Structure 1
Amino acid sequence: MDRAPGLSVRLKLTLSYAGFLMLAGALLLGAVWVFLLRYVPDRAMLKNPDDKPANGVFPVRSVLLDVFAPRAAAVMAFLLVFGLVGGWILAGRMLAPLTRITDATRLATSGSLSHRIQLPGHKDEFRELADAFDAMLARLEAHVAEQRRFAANASHELRTPLAISKALLDVARTDPKHDAGEVIDRLHAVNTRAIDLTEALLLLSRADQRSFTREPIDLSLLAEEATETLLPLAEKRGVTIDTSGDITPTIGSHALLLQLTTNLVHNAIVHNLPEQGAVWVKTSIRPKTVELTVENTGEKLAPQLVSTLTEPFQRGTERMHTSHAGVGLGLAIVKTITQAHDGTLTLTPRPAGGIRITVELPATSPHIDGEKSGS
């Protein structure tokens, strides 16, 4: 935005300091002037050395005023110069932190997010601003780095099915005797995976932008719906599902929260023990929050590995060798949906193996929601 040039803040502060000093000096000199006019007599009788009155009368007030006026003008001139010089120096010292913040802002605008102000000294308004700016730069730098990793990983994940499709088509074109049915089946599987990945990326973007309508939701009903939908998969893999809990009212997107619940239950089923695995889905309510906990048996996971599972395209070691490996965005989508609903996501490895995942969302009153829906 183009703006017309104006006075700098330092010059404005300098003029303000000088003006205030001049005003204070003028008030002081005015008070002295009033004192001279009010309490000093206009004339006084001259006396002889032997304390006898003389015949002459001395104009005391006029003489004092004649002496006072030029000296008062000299004092005002000194105060003006002193105020301008001293105000310029003081304004420079006061605005020095703001200059550092401005320089850091220009560096950030040019694309350098690694610079930090790190303003020294005790806590004041400028230092609070500098600390807040440093924290913002740190978050921006981490976000940009995460987005770059995500873009690189997404490009790699999307390139893989496209490269496989190209290879299959090349084989079909150069080898007419090759089984066309096999090529079609493999192309169908590869394209299905590419479509699933694209839909997951779109869902992730939608949740991250918070472009959804909020409505009253009961997490316990979503948990039941997700477990019923995935029950055939659980039976096929020999996994038992135990669902329990309380009514857990919250506010959010029904589609996104159902996707969150489905992802958690699906991951718990797929990434489980080869035989006799178990999944526990529980909902609970707290004074101000509601919780959805999905816990499953499985291999023992290191805490370092668990802390990375919510990153896009991150998988555990066993996840790369399963027929239901997915696209690597399941927990990333869960994390994004949770954050979009102002909630928290906690991943905890179970000592006996497997993982416990807890989603905590803000709670709402069912009575209030019922009144709103009926009004």
Structure 2
Amino acid sequence: MRRRPRFSARLKLTLSYAAFLFLAGVVLLAVVWVYLVRYAPEVITAPGGTLARSVRVRFAPAVAGALAFLLGFGLLGGWFLAGRMLAPLTRIADAARMAANGSLSHRIRLRGRDDEFGELADVFDTMLERLESHVAEQRRFAANASHELRTPLAISQALLDVARHDSTEGHRQLIERLRTVNTRAIDLTEALLLLSRADRGSFTRESVDLSLVAEEAAETLLPLAEQRRITLAVTGEKAQTVGSAALILRMVTNLVQNAVVHNLPTGGTVTVHTRARHDASVLLVENTGQPLPPELLPTLTEPFQRGTTRIRTDEHAGVGLGLAIVHSIVRAHHGALDLAPRPTGGLLVTVRLPAAPRAPSPDGTH
């Protein structure tokens, strides 16, 4: 709801300027009158009082005229000055009104004002830029999620139509295909829910050892690595952090699975290494594979991006949310995620999470 003020800020400033100028004029004229009374008494108190009355008669209209001039000048000058001073606020209000109506591309770009109004305009422009980027990202995500969810539903509908019109189709084969499609839809839905949960940061925090989580994830994915003839190794030291054990396990599992799936056809390696630093717990996942162009790396953490293609060519290719979920979990734990291509091919992923506070020793030291 748009609220119209009873008196605008410009009018209030104008009246303030005019009132100040009027009061200053009154004080100035009062000083002049006191000066005349104190330092020129012989003129004002002449014999018979004729001259004194004449001075008072002449002084009063002059004072009234001067005060009227000061009041009018104060109103006009105050209106002009207030307008110039409040002009940036008008531009900021117009930009805010356009943003409220859904237009986020407008920018104030207030140049030449190195003051509070200029700082406010710059902050507002930065906010609009980030908001526009966030909204665009959410729209792309919604469109991609709708597309990904529509695919298994369309496949299920096609299979059911075939089964209804072709009684010779084997029921067992149909059920198995429907189960596969339904499993993929469930996996996608759970991934979307997990991504939303990580973005909200609504989870219980506890002490987590990255080395133990890495061993658990590697043990789970060892059969997949052996099936692909990929060597999977876990090394390193104890690295304590604070966060959700379930989310951190999903993060490490996604990284290891991604390293196994996007590897050499055979004979590849995946190395998971943990180490502790003074203020951070570090997880490194390194894998062999095809060379990656540097310009591709920023897109890998976007939802539904699968390397250089969006086409599923592997049963373990996932739903395209693996690294997007990793990025969200790292961000929810106030950590940092770094992706770097290996010179010989493959990827090196580095995750830095805040180190858990050290428990005090019995003597009170850390």
User: What TM-score results when the alignment is normalised by the length of structure 1?
Assistant: 0.89
| Matched pairs, number | 361
Percent identity over paired residues: 62
**1:174 lines up with 2:170 in the alignment:** no
Change (3 A) 1:13 1:187: same
Is the contact made by 1:14 and 1:87 (CA closer than 8 Å) also made in structure 2?
yes
Match of 1:348 among 310, 329, 340: 340
CA shift for structure 1 position 58? 6.9
Distance 2:94 2:291 in 1: 50
Distance 1:43 1:106 in 2: 65
Which residue of 2 is the match for residue 306 of structure 1? 297
Equivalent positions of 1:359-370 (< 5 A) are 359-367=351-359
Which residue of 2 is the match for residue 315 of structure 1? 306
SS at match of 1:364: coil
SS at match of 1:311: coil
Which residue of 2 is the match for residue 328 of structure 1? 320
CA shift for structure 1 position 274? 1.6
**1:228 lines up with 2:214 in the alignment:** no
Which residue of 1 is the match for residue 135 of structure 2? 144
Distance 1:155 1:201 in 2: 11
Is the contact made by 1:40 and 1:61 (CA closer than 8 Å) also made in structure 2?
no
Equivalent positions of 1:43-54 (< 5 A) are none
CA shift for structure 1 position 12? 0.9
Which residue of 2 is the match for residue 358 of structure 1? 350
**Is the radius of gyration larger for structure 1 or structure 2?**
1
* Paired residue type of 2:268: G
Equivalent positions of 1:122-271 (< 5 A) are 122-271=113-262
Which residue of 1 is the match for residue 270 of structure 2? 279
**1:77 lines up with 2:68 in the alignment:** yes
Is the contact made by 1:215 and 1:252 (CA closer than 8 Å) also made in structure 2?
yes
Is the contact made by 2:45 and 2:51 (CA closer than 8 Å) also made in structure 1?
no
CA shift for structure 1 position 170? 1.4
Distance 1:288 1:36 in 2: 78
**1:102 lines up with 2:85 in the alignment:** no
* Paired residue type of 1:16: S
Is the contact made by 1:43 and 1:59 (CA closer than 8 Å) also made in structure 2?
no
Change (3 A) 1:233 1:73: same
Distance 1:320 1:178 in 2: 26
Change (3 A) 1:257 1:59: farther
Distance 1:192 1:9 in 2: 62
Distance 2:361 2:65 in 1: 77
Change (3 A) 1:9 1:190: same
Is the contact made by 2:232 and 2:269 (CA closer than 8 Å) also made in structure 1?
yes
Which residue of 2 is the match for residue 338 of structure 1? 330
SS at match of 1:29: helix
Change (3 A) 1:153 1:43: closer
**1:26 lines up with 2:26 in the alignment:** yes
Is the contact made by 1:97 and 1:126 (CA closer than 8 Å) also made in structure 2?
yes
Mean Cα displacement is larger for which, 277-286 or 88-97?
277-286
* Paired residue type of 1:327: V
Q: What is the root-mean-square deviation in Å for CA atoms of aligned residues?
A: 2.4
SS at match of 2:315: coil
* Paired residue type of 2:328: T
Gap regions ≥5 residues in structure 2: none
Deviations 1:268-290 (A, max 9, x none): 11111122211122223344333
* Paired residue type of 2:61: P
